[in-house]
């Protein structure tokens, strides 16, 4: 297993497959790098070097008491890219990972970056505020915190259903996907996952989005029950210069799994363009 050690001594797990132009993936909460397996295998087979890490306190990375914040996540990702000496990289982030991609660019620039992709991503801001009246009420995130504290194992089993749209009439439920989501979530650390809720809900990524100066693809499902498209992709696509927006009709939050073939084809076309 491959790890880098960050400045504060945290071991960050990553997988690094194939060769060619690097494509680096940032996963959503409360998952791990494994959430990107379908995309990594596909792009790896098409001649790209594919890399995905487990965010600190998630997956196989160290479970830290401190540093579970977006500034540190971004610095960890920049450290990984520097350690691997990535150049001309394509950064792809889902959900919280989309915030991580935006914030890494906001803090560290695009010197190593050729393109960016945000999939079902949380930017610019999820939380309802005076300046963001269409955002999600704080009570929703407080309920997530309570669910994680009270019974994290059951909460993740329940979260799977809206995450993949399995609660919609006529949906075909994959028990394997449900088990994989639960396993990835339970592999991470409670403290870090609890802290991360604030990072995906309350951080305003507007200024980060303004700093993205590379071609950017924004993908979102219009039936996303976790990160509503109206407060996310529809706004981000207006903030990021010359962003390309693709809306997947009827797609849920976990579209990298439910719509893997469609996303894979769109990613390949965007990277090649």
* Predicted pLDDT at 193: 98
CB 14 within 8 A of CB 2: yes
Instruction: Read off the tokens for 77.
Output: 């990702």
Residues 6+ apart with CB under 8 A from 190: 148, 152
What residues act catalytically? 95, 224, 253
What is each CA distance from 41 to 17, 158, 164, 184, 236, in whole angstroms?
9, 28, 21, 18, 28
Q: In whole angstroms, how large is the CA radius of gyration of the chain? A: 17
Tell me what pLDDT residue 22 has: 98
pLDDT digits (tens, 9 = 90+) for 80-129: 999 999 999 999 999 999 999 999 999 999 999 999 999 999 999 999 99
- Quick check: 120 and 143 in contact, CB under 8 A? no
Sheet of 11-17, strands arranged across: 2-5, 11-17, 49-53, 22-26, 89-94, 113-119, 216-221, 244-248
State the pLDDT at residue 1: 80
Question: Phi and psi (nearest 5°) for 196?
Answer: -65, -25
Peptide bond into 124 cis (omega under 30): yes
Q: Decide which of 3.60.15.10, 3.30.70.20, 3.40.50.300, 3.40.50.1820 is the CATH code for 2-272.
A: 3.40.50.1820
E-strand ranges in the chain read 2-5, 11-17, 22-26, 49-53, 89-94, 113-119, 216-221, 244-248
Q: What does pLDDT average to in each consecutive run of 10 residues of the chain (273 residues)?
A: 95 98 98 98 98 98 98 98 98 98 98 98 98 97 98 98 98 98 98 98 98 98 98 98 97 98 98 97
């Amino acid at each position: 297993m491959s790890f880098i050690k960050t400045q504060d001594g945290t071991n960050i797990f990553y997988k690094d497959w194939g060769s060619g132009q690097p494509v680096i993936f940032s996963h959503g909460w409360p998952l791990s790098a494994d959430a990107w397996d379908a995309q990594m295998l596909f792009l790896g087979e098409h001649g790209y070097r594919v890399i995905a890490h487990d965010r600190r306190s998630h997956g196989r990375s160290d479970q830290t008491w401190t540093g579970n914040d977006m500034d540190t996540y971004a610095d960890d990702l920049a450290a990984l890219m520097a350690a691997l000496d990535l150049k001309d990289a394509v950064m792809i982030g889902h959900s919280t990972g989309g915030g991580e991609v935006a914030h890494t660019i906001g803090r560290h620039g695009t010197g190593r970056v050729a393109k960016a992709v945000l999939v079902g991503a949380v930017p610019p801001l999820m939380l309802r505020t005076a300046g963001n009246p269409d955002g999600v009420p704080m009570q929703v995130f407080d309920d997530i915190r309570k669910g994680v504290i009270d019974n994290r194992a059951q909460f993740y089993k329940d979260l799977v259903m809206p995450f993949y749209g399995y609660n919609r009439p006529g949906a075909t439920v994959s028990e394997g996907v449900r088990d994989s989501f639960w396993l990835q979530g339970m592999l991470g650390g409670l403290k870090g996952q609890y802290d991360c809720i604030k990072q995906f809900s309350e951080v305003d990524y507007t200024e980060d989005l303004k700093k993205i100066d590379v071609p950017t693809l924004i993908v979102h499902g219009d039936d996303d029950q976790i990160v509503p498209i109206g407060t996310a992709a529809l706004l981000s696509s207006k903030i990021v210069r010359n962003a390309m927006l693709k809306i997947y009709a009827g797609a849920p939050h976990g579209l990298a799994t439910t719509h893997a073939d469609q996303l894979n084809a769109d990613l390949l076309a965007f990277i090649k363009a």
